[in-house]
Chains A and B, each alone.
Chain A
Amino acid sequence: MAKITYIENNGKSHSVDVADGLTVMEGAVQNNIPGIDADCGGGMACATCHVYVKDEWFDKINKKSEGEDDMIDQAYEPKKSSRLSCQIQVSSEIDGLEVHLPEKQI
């Protein structure tokens, strides 16, 4: 279990407990957190679960999947800190993770 905080582009933040083994995307969808569309359902086939992860967390979460950057190329306003939340695995090691949501996904 890890507490994950999702911070919307307007600053509104949502903290939820997410079970180990889920992804950060699933944590958002299951808790109805606005701003994560996840159109493809976690198949890494779209870029609508795009989040920004600040430096202090970027190296603590699992590394990017093969092809993830190719999808991020197609995201809305990608940055160096961009990740697809469907590729971030939740475990107690990332308890306290904060992710920032882009202004929009599409």
Chain B
Amino acid sequence: MIKTDALIIGAGPTGLFTAHQLKLIGLNCEIVDNLDKIGGQCIELYPDKPIYDIPAIPECTGEELTNNLLEQLKPFNIKFHLGERVDELKKDNEKWNVKTSKGTVFETPNVIIAGGVGSFEPRKFSPKECEQFENKTILYSIKNKKIFDGKTVSIFGGGDSALDWALELSKTSKVNLIHRRDEFRAIQATVDKVKELSNDGKINLITNSQLKTVSGNGKLEEIEIENDNKETKKLKTDFALGFFGLIMQLGPIANWGLNLNKKTVEVDTEKFETNQKGIYAVGDICNYPGKLKLILSGFHEGALAARACFKLARPNEKYRFEFTTSSKTIQNRLGVKSD
């Protein structure tokens, strides 16, 4: 069990800056994120898109913003738990007991949800029949490619993941590659290679078609696809793989007894605390009258939530407001030389 003054859920810009604020006032914290990388939406959705409304930074991309925030966090040794989703949150006396999808357990008086629009999860096939085969013969990511050796694999999607796996698996498996239109969003060299293998009969490329239904006894045996003219076609297959990108879902947060408003969490504007003591929400995921979904608002919210954490983490001490320009204590924490 990991004991910490505060646990931050979400490693996007708001989560990162909130960590900075916690460390400045002398609290320790750890960060959990379901993605396998730091940066949240900035990295996953728009790493190359310029942002123009970060105070004092006329223009930067999502990636640059993330890197700058990490640079700012450098003096502090923050532990990140990436690729883990927070699944359970339970009150244990005055503390929160938090458990992730990988089984990591935290005990903390403060949980700060900086979860953006929720956690990123793969988009799944829409036919309901697919559920029974999920994680067995219908997959949305590949952990061990050996299981496909000598099998028939039907890959759906038109991006890099779909095409890269079609190329890779075509060496050892029979591959059907199915996409809803005849243009692909993968890089051109990959698209050219797929078309070449398709012409050579090494990949069965089917465009303008989508999955209609699946069937099988215990394991997937057959898929039925439908083209734009509503003509259907059945294909024998051992596996179906879907690569339709990531969607954002509130996920387990919805089950923690918090006051929700659509996909956001209601908070007060003094501590950014939810209806549960010691649970805060900051950034895009929080909601209050006048809420603006801007990165700069997330920074403000995180700074205030961090101060609120102090009271629960250090009940016998009094929080004293200090400036980074003049406080020797803060400068020591930052490891900078003070005069």
Listed in ascending order, the chain A residues whose CB lies under 8 Å from chain B are 37, 39-41, 43, 45-48, 69-70, 73-74, 76-78, 80, 106
Contact = CB atoms under 8 A, between A and B. Distances in A.
Given A77-B126, A80-B228, A106-B247, A43 B180 contact: no
Contacts of A37: 263
Describe B's contact surface by its main secondary structure.
Answer: loop
Contact of A46 (B45, B159, B210): B45
A40 B157 contact: no
Contacts of B41: 40, 45
Interface string B231-272: 000000000000011111100000000000001000000000
Contacts of B74: none
A69 B228 CA distance: 16
A81 to B, nearest CB: 11
B46 A73 contact: no
B123 A74 contact: yes
B185 A106 contact: no
A76 B123 contact: yes
A40 B210 CA distance: 26
Contacts of B249: 106
Contact residues of A: prevailing secondary structure:
loop
Nearest to B44: A45
Nearest to B123: A74
A29 B179 CA distance: 31
B193 interface: no
A31 to B, nearest CB: 15
A70 B185 contact: yes
Given A73-B180, A74-B247, A106-B248, 14 more contacts: A39-B248, A40-B117, A43-B45, A43-B46, A45-B41, A45-B45, A46-B45, A46-B247, A69-B185, A70-B185, A73-B244, A74-B244, A74-B246, A106-B247
A47 B159 CA distance: 15
Contacts of A74: 123, 244-247
Output the residue of B49, B228, B245, B246 with the most chain A CB within 10 A.
Answer: B245
Contacts of A39: 117, 248, 263
B192 interface: no
Contacts of B228: 80
Contacts of B246: 74
B136 interface: no
B300 interface: no
A96 B247 CA distance: 31
B158 interface: yes
